Amino acid sequence: MPHMPVPPLSLRQMILRPWLLAALAALASAALLLAASVGLNLQQTRQNESAHMNAQGKRFLERLEQVFGELRQGVDTLQAQPLRGCDGAMKAALQDVGLGSRFIYEAAYVHGQVACSNRGGERVIEPQRVADIQGPTYSYWLNTSTEPNDNLAALMLGRGRFLVSTSRGHLTDVVDLPAGGSLLVVLDHGKRAIPVLGPPQQWPPTQPWPPASQKPLVELGDRLMYRMATRSPDYQLVLIAPRTRLPLKLDGPLWLLFPGSVVLACLIGWLVLQLIQQRRSMSAELQSALRRGELQVLYQPIFELASRRCVGAEALVRWRRHDGSLTSPELFIPLAENTGQIRQITDFVLQRVLEQLGPLLRSNRQLYISVNLAACDVMAPRIGRVAARLLARHRVSATQIAFEVTERGLIDVVVARENLQALRASGHQVLIDDFGTGYCSLSYLQTLPVDCLKIDKAFIDALGHDAASSGVAPHIIRMAHSLHLRVIAEGIESEGQAVLLTSEGVNYGQGWLFAHPLSARQFIGLIARGRRMGQQRLDDEP
């Protein structure tokens, strides 16, 4: 007999495989963590680059102040002496100034065709252009030679017939400029910049110039600039360099960040796998619980506050395992909503309510049981058909089965309104559960087919206290009355709360003041006896 071909897995089945989801989570985590590690390293590199530029600028400024100071002192000394001309005494004076100064490379006397220098016949400096800065005392020539020779003059200062200059080497021995970097002298209040060292730069580098920030270091996307405050108002010094694209350095903490990120990503993937498997395991257990009958329905009685007469109950589903342990509804109900099992649970609750309380409801036509609906049942007409079929089988009126919906279940108000209206048209009551904790606005509430509001226990607990939410319950009550809606207060635990709610116009309530959730047998006994609860309370079966 030939084998039947195995159908290929659907894309959804493949994507939802636990190991694949865990692997994707691990890869995504690794990518994020590694990106964060690289980002931290790059940020640290940028910070180091800025700090390096800051330090370079400070060293340049110190050196330039020293250089300009010695140039001025040297030319002042020469100007102050009575010697003129290029005799032996003048050459000796020029030699003394050059030897007595650390930063003066050449000192010269120039008068027409007569010129002499402390360098002898080797070189005589002579300006070839008008001074870049012409002050009342000194004249400054900047970047007097672009030849790549450290012994050539980079700065020259003149006074009278005397000139002194410093070599490029006296500046570059402090800081080695990066490729493309320049030391600029900014003139004319920032309108012009002359490079003393390095190539010319686009000027101004930013608009407006100078920048509003007073910080010496200006960080641009592609360049760093260090502005140096000088003693002279005629010029400003700016060190400018392109941001270097430094390679990623795998040193220090980064060596730990990379393997740490990989290990952490693997751990995240493992945790995701465990959570998915646990989730699937609980989902499978929940399915088995439905088959084995581990789910049970309890009934939280609803009382008329004035007479303490029971008028109905809210059906609550509980999961008691074979070992006697209870699984919280807050754990398995959200799981069931996400997996779609909530529809089976809702159908089970409806069926169990009518099986257990059908005779009681038929003999007490004013009694009703409310069943909670999930968002998926609010947004689809399915539950109305299920309820109609079960009600016909058990001969119970639709007015005795109410449906509770939460504000969070009203995902699409237009669709919800249509489906809730269909339920009401069939005779069912519609209640808004936990009102005030969701996002159902008053405008929506006015248009929804609703019979009753249930005030959340948190607002009941705040009554009579100075809590910020203590005024919410009275506001909801007044709003409900204005819309001609009944109000049920949830979680009443004290007689004082019951009295206060009654004075506010609330007619119905439920809570441990009256009874814990009851089994079907206890609830039938309560109704059969028709007893007034007073201060007495019935508890769960042991």
Alpha carbon distance 398, 303 (integer Å): 20
- 462 close to 472: Cβ distance less than 8 angstroms: yes
Q: What residue type is assigned to position 165 of the chain?
A: S
Alpha carbon distance 39, 45 (integer Å): 10
Rg of the chain over CA atoms, in angstroms?
45
Q: How many domains does the chain have?
A: 2
Instruction: Assess if residue 154 is contained within a domain.
Output: yes
Mark whether 196 and 345 lie in a shared domain.
no
Q: Which residue has better confidence, 120 or 382?
A: 382
Strands (E) across 112-198 are located at: 114-117, 133-134, 139-142, 153-159, 162-167, 182-187, 192-197
Mark whether 180 and 70 lie in a shared domain.
yes
Instruction: Assess if residue 45 is contained within a domain.
Output: yes
Instruction: Assess if residue 373 is contained within a domain.
Output: yes
Mark whether 31 and 93 lie in a shared domain.
yes
Mark whether 90 and 234 lie in a shared domain.
yes
Cβ density class 50-89: b for 16+ within 10 Å, e for less: eeebbebbeebbebbeebbebbeebbebbeeeeeeebeee
Strands (E) across 374-493 are located at: 401-406, 429-435, 452-455, 486-489
- 254 close to 36: Cβ distance less than 8 angstroms: no
Alpha carbon distance 265, 29 (integer Å): 5
Of 79-83, 110-114, 254-258, 474-478, the least confident: 254-258
Please name the residues in contact with 403: beta carbons below 8 A apart, sequence gap of 6 or more: 370, 371, 372, 373, 383, 420, 423, 428, 429, 430, 431
pLDDT in tens, 267-313: 665 565 555 545 556 666 777 777 777 889 999 999 999 999 999 99
pLDDT at 354: 96
Please name the helix (run of DSSP H) or strand (run of DSSP E) that holds residue 303, with its range, or none: strand 295-304
Instruction: Provide the CATH number for the domain around residue 328.
Output: 3.20.20.450
Compute the average pLDDT of residues 446-466. Answer: 83
Alpha carbon distance 478, 487 (integer Å): 10
Of 10-19, 82-91, 331-340, 421-430, the least confident: 10-19
- 353 close to 315: Cβ distance less than 8 angstroms: yes
Instruction: Assess if residue 115 is contained within a domain.
Output: yes
Instruction: Assess if residue 285 is contained within a domain.
Output: no
Mark whether 238 and 325 lie in a shared domain.
no
User: From residue 146, how far is each of 127, 149, 152, 236, 242 by CA, in Å?
Assistant: 14, 8, 9, 21, 20
Q: Which residues pair with 183 in a beta bridge?
A: 197, 239
Domain boundary among 224, 242, 260: 242
Mark whether 99 and 164 lie in a shared domain.
yes
Compute the average pLDDT of residues 100-113. Answer: 88
pLDDT in tens, 225-258: 777 767 666 677 787 878 765 554 545 555 566 6
> Which pTM does this prediction carry?
0.52
Is the model's pLDDT at 149 over the cut of 70? no
Q: Which residues pair with 312 in a beta bridge?
A: 302, 368
Alpha carbon distance 126, 121 (integer Å): 13
- 366 close to 360: Cβ distance less than 8 angstroms: no
Could you list the residue range(s) of the whole structural domain that residue 466 is in?
A: 295-529
CA count, 13 A, side-chain hemisphere, 119: 19
pLDDT at 532: 45
Torsion of CA 400, 401, 402, 404, to 10 degrees: 150
Mark whether 465 and 316 lie in a shared domain.
yes
pLDDT at 365: 93
Instruction: Assess if residue 106 is contained within a domain.
Output: yes
> What is the number of other CB atoms lying within 10 angstroms of the CB of residue 11?
8
Residue 199 CA, distance from chain mean position? 44
**Average pLDDT score over the chain:** 79
Instruction: Assess if residue 407 is contained within a domain.
Output: yes
Domain boundary among 176, 210, 242: 242
pLDDT at 78: 93
- 288 close to 530: Cβ distance less than 8 angstroms: no
Mark whether 217 and 130 lie in a shared domain.
yes
Pairing of strands 309-320, 368-372: parallel
pLDDT at 254: 57
- The candidate with the shortest Cα–Cα distance to 264, out of 45, 34, 101, is 34
Is the model's pLDDT at 363 over the cut of 60? yes
Alpha carbon distance 442, 448 (integer Å): 10
User: From residue 425, how far is each of 416, 418, 429, 458, 485 by CA, in Å?
Assistant: 14, 10, 9, 32, 17
What length does the chain have? 542
Alpha carbon distance 108, 90 (integer Å): 9
Alpha carbon distance 159, 97 (integer Å): 14
